[in-house]
Chain A
Amino acid sequence: MASKFIRSNRIGWLMAGPAALLMAIFVVLPFVFAIGLSFTNQRLISPNPTQFVGLANYEQLLGVGVLTLEPERDNAGAVIRDKSGALTYPALRSFTRNNADYPQYDGMREWFSFDMGESRVFLLGRDIVFLKAIVNTVIFVLVVAPVQGGLALGLALLINQRLRGINLFRAIYFMPVVVSIVVVSLLWRFIYDGNSGLLNNLLGAITFGAFPRIDWLGNPGTALGSIIAMSIWQAVGFHMVIWLSGLQTISPTLYEAAAIEGASPWQTFRYVTWPGLRNTAVLVLIVITMQAFSLFSQIDVMTGGGPLDSTQTIVFQAVERGYGKQDISGGSTISVVLFVIVLTISFIQRWLTREKK
């Protein structure tokens, strides 16, 4: 393509230079820095010189351990039960604080535990908040990607009808996309409010007062779910439009053929529409996944990670440490972990959705 135009190194670099330089300084350099800084103890402002600390940041962040404890027994070997009849176990602290026999558990805290037979298995972590942040972020992605992608496809099919005024509906469905997520989050704080929230009033009205009032964002069981619902509401129009552009590349003659063959609406979708949307599906999935992993603004405005760390996320933690505590190396380490996760997931998605030959 380019060979038919004149070759000129000088003009080429002159025109592409500004963009290349800007991207080198503001994208490539920070990316390289993130990796480099994650092996140091760099702070934003510090009187002490920066030191190389190896993998210490990663160990601190991702260190986990499994500890299985046998119930306490008396001298005869029978298990000791407390007043309510539950088994008793040795104190976890005796293993995680200054126990020379178990140096690998030193400084860890309980993440969660479950019973297996008589013994109890403890999952320990060095940084429980961050581990919770990873789990919450993964839950968010696992729910948002299929639900938002699916709803967006449903809306796209609905909007792809030939009806008078359909453009008006398309415009309305897309509207929340142009509104800042910060504005949307603040608005929905009012909707989710425990006392005068619109959602509680609506549910109360529908069930004639039978539905209990819930403090949606103040309750560890509902906070993440509430944020998921709102995030989908805000962004679904974006992906509807991408599906729609995919739908419009499918040739009308295929639908005519399906109609002549007497295909049912489901058959038409299954054998004409869906195969034509293959590439769009991969794109939608990857874009939603990348956006979902970056979850931050909603958390910052609505819950600040609470209640009880039930809405902590990876990026929220990166910002809280890198900016809030000025711990640049800690924040960078989280960034690298996030990048590795995003890259892995998008490779897996590409592999799962590859052309099968």
Chain B
Amino acid sequence: MAAIAPDNHGLRLVARYAVLILIAVIFIFPLIFMLMSSLKPDQQLLTDTESLRAFLPVGNISLDNYLAAFRRAPVGLFVFNSVLVTGLTVLLSLVVCSLAAFAFVFIDWRGRELVLTLILATLIVPFETIAIPLLLISANLPWIGLEGVTRGWLNSYQVQIVPFIADGLTIFLFVQYFKDLPGELIEAARVEGASWGQIYRKVVMPLAGPVLATAAILKFLTMYNQYLWPLMVVQQEQYRPVMVGLQYFFQLNRAWGEIMAYLSLITVPVLAFYLFLQRAFIASIASTGVKG
């Protein structure tokens, strides 16, 4: 409970920290286990699970598992694919959704209310309920590429990117944020003869830092961790993201050390990114709950 005055009395303080630390151990121990195991040969990894050695970098420590993981699967390619798909989707999503929100908040146009209501209504449709028909649609969509017009998006980058550019939550976040901006700023810019494009670029977007961070972080998390969708639409190794690449490891006879190395490899950068921007990450989740 929110204590009004800091309560720092000996024993009670120790008890509080004991509880906090105990819970922290529960949350952190599997991740430590993953990291430590990735450094150990399989035999030692298995025997170490019988003691606290499982959580310590002891014994025969090396990076062999990482090298083996790279030999077993095109890990570099998977990482490249994930970074490309995630990066492009985040970028396009920020542009497309902020433009739409700008139109919803600052411009009066016919159909505005209806379109906004429809977009917000999609928030109650879980992606899982549209995934199967979306698979059929994606298999039949045309695409204009270097080879001319082709039909069918399966096994491509665009099938992993385009369907996720616009989404109800991102638009909702931008709309909420834009509504709270002072209208006088837009008025003033209008009086000075600025066009709508200029107001978007030079007045509104420079003020949108916090909501851009929030939207980017949420999109980043969903896109990087995508599993169901790429599992269905990408069979060719060439376009596989990291989460689907995992299949190379858990279908073959269990080389746990290599699995742990691969898991660490695809998780540690995200964790580092999170710890670095911890406040922004937590604020972004919190902001989805403020106005619900």
Spell out A's residues near B (CB within 8 Å): 1-16, 18-20, 22-23, 25-31, 33-34, 37, 42, 44-45, 155, 157-158, 160-163, 166-167, 169-184, 186-191, 196-198, 201, 233, 237-238, 241-242, 244-247, 249-250, 252, 255-256, 259, 265, 268-269, 273, 279-280, 282-284, 290, 293-294, 296-297, 300-301, 315, 318-319, 322-323, 328, 331-332, 334-336, 338-339, 342-343, 346
Assess the A160–B6 pair: CB atoms within 8 A.
Answer: no
At the interface, yes or no: B252 with Cβ under 8 Å from chain A? no
Q: Is the Cβ of A238 less than 8 Å from the Cβ of B285?
A: yes
B128 near A297: Cβ-Cβ < 8 Å? no
Given contacts A15-B103, A23-B119, contact A279 B31 (CB under 8 A): no
Give Cα A256 to B2, complex, Å. 10
Given A2-B112, A15-B99, does the pair A30, B130 have CB atoms closer than 8 Å?
yes
Q: Which residues of B contact A269 (CB under 8 A)?
A: 1
Other A-B contacts than A241-B282, A315-B228, 16 sampled, CB-CB below 8 A, are A13-B111, A16-B112, A23-B168, A26-B166, A163-B16, A172-B24, A173-B23, A175-B28, A176-B31, A178-B281, A180-B243, A182-B246, A187-B33, A196-B47, A241-B285, A280-B292
Instruction: Please state if A171 and B275 are interface contacts (CB–CB under 8 Å).
Output: yes
Q: A16-B103, A22-B166, A265-B1 are in contact. Are A30 and B134 (CB under 8 A)?
A: yes
Report yes or no: B112 in contact with A201, Cβ–Cβ below 8 A: no
- List A contacts of B288 (CB < 8 A): 242
Q: Is the interface of B mostly helix, strand, loop or mixed?
A: helix
B167 A2 Cβ-Cβ under 8 A: no
Which residues of the partner chain A approach B209 to less than 8 Å between Cβ atoms? none
B126 in contact with A160 (CB, 8 Å): no
- B107, A335: Cβ atoms under 8 Å? no
Q: Which of chain A's residues have a CB closer than 8 A to the CB of B129? A: 31, 34, 335-336, 338-339, 342
Cα of A252 to Cα of B165 in the assembled complex, Å:
41
Residues of B within 8 A of A (CB): 1-4, 6-7, 13, 16-17, 19-20, 23-24, 26-28, 30-31, 33-34, 37, 46-47, 49-50, 54, 96-97, 99-100, 102-112, 115, 118-119, 122, 124-137, 139, 162-168, 171, 179, 183, 186-187, 190, 196, 200, 221, 224-225, 227-228, 231-232, 243, 246, 250, 256, 259, 263, 266-267, 270-271, 274-275, 278, 281-282, 285-290, 292
A245 touches B133 (CB 8 A): no
On whether the beta carbons of B179 and A1 are closer than 8 Å, the reply is: yes
Pick from B30, B47, B128: contact of A191, CB under 8 Å: B30
Cα A183 to Cα B35 in complex, Å, equals 12
Query: Within the assembled complex, what's the spacing in Å between the Cα atoms of A3 and B30?
Result: 55
Known: A18-B96, A27-B125. A8 touches B109 (CB 8 A): yes
A252-B24 in contact given A31-B130, A180-B225 (Cβ < 8 Å): no
CB-based closest 3 A-B pairs = A12-B109, A322-B132, A19-B100
Q: List 13 A-B contacts (CB under 8 A).
A: A5-B190, A18-B166, A28-B118, A31-B122, A161-B3, A162-B3, A175-B31, A183-B243, A250-B2, A255-B2, A269-B1, A296-B128, A328-B133
Taken together as a complex, chains A and B put the C-alpha atoms of A187 and B109 apart, in Å, by 51
Set A15, A27, A170: member contacting B282, Cβ < 8 A: A170
Separation of A201 and B162 alpha carbons in the complex (Å): 46
With CB as the reference atom, state the residue of chain A lying closest to B106. Answer: A5
B133→A37 contact, CB < 8 A: yes
Q: Are B128 and A318 in contact (CB under 8 A)?
A: yes
**A45 shortest CB reach to chain B, Å:** 8
Do A20 and B232 have beta carbons less than 8 Å apart? no
A172, A191, A265, A294 interface centre (most CB from chain B within 10 Å) = A172
Task: Decide if B110 touches A9 in the complex (CB within 8 Å).
Answer: yes
Contact A343 B132 (CB under 8 A): no
Contacts of B126 in A (CB 8 A): 290, 293-294, 338-339, 342
Distance between Cα atoms of A318 and B127 in the complex (Å): 12
In the bound complex, residues from chain A placing their C-beta under 8 Å from that of B246 are 182-183, 186, 301
Cα of A286 to Cα of B215 in the assembled complex, Å: 21
Complex-state Cα separation, A17 to B26, whole angstroms: 47
Shortest C-beta distance, B206 to chain A (Å), equals 18
Closest chain-B Cβ to A218's Cβ sits at a distance in Å of 14
The answer to whether B102 touches A15, judged by C-beta atoms less than 8 angstroms apart, is yes
Q: Which residue of A lies closest to B244 (CB)?
A: A182
Is there an interface contact between B107 and A15, defined as CB atoms closer than 8 Å? yes
Are A158 and B23 within 8 A (Cβ)? Answer: yes
Contact A335 B131 (CB under 8 A): yes
Q: Choose one: B30, B37, B108, B285; the contact of A188 (CB below 8 Å).
A: B30
Cβ contact within 8 Å between A280 and B289:
yes
Taken together as a complex, chains A and B put the C-alpha atoms of A11 and B274 apart, in Å, by 38
Cβ contact of A161, chosen from B1, B34, B119, B267, cutoff 8 A: B1
* B103:A335 contact, CB within 8 angstroms: no
Would you give the shortest CB distance from A290 to chain B, in whole angstroms? 6
With A181-B227, A328-B133, A342-B129 already in contact, the answer to whether A12 and B103 are too (CB < 8 A) is yes
Cβ contact within 8 Å between B2 and A30 = no
Given contacts A155-B23, A242-B288, contact A179 B270 (CB under 8 A): yes
Report the separation of the CA atoms of residues A33 and B187 in the bound assembly, to the nearest whole angstrom: 44
Indicate if the CB atoms of B137 and A197 lie closer than 8 Å. Answer: no
B270 near A8: Cβ-Cβ < 8 Å: no
- A178 and B167 CA atoms in complex are apart in Å by 20
Q: Is the CB of A187 within 8 A of B107?
A: no
Q: Tell whether, in the assembled complex, residue A190 and residue B256 are in contact, meaning their CB atoms are under 8 Å apart.
A: yes
A236 to chain B, nearest CB (A): 9
A100 to chain B, nearest CB (A): 37
B108 to A237, Cβ gap below 8 A? no
Judging by beta carbons under 8 Å apart, are A7 and B187 in contact?
Answer: no
- CA–CA, A172 and B27, complex, Å: 7
Q: Is the CB of A283 within 8 A of B106?
A: no
Residue of B nearest to A188 (CB): B30
Q: Give the complex CA separation of A178 and B271 in angstroms.
A: 7
Contact of B27 among A20, A233, A293 (CB under 8 A): A233
Query: Which of chain B's residues have a CB closer than 8 A to the CB of A252?
Result: 2, 4
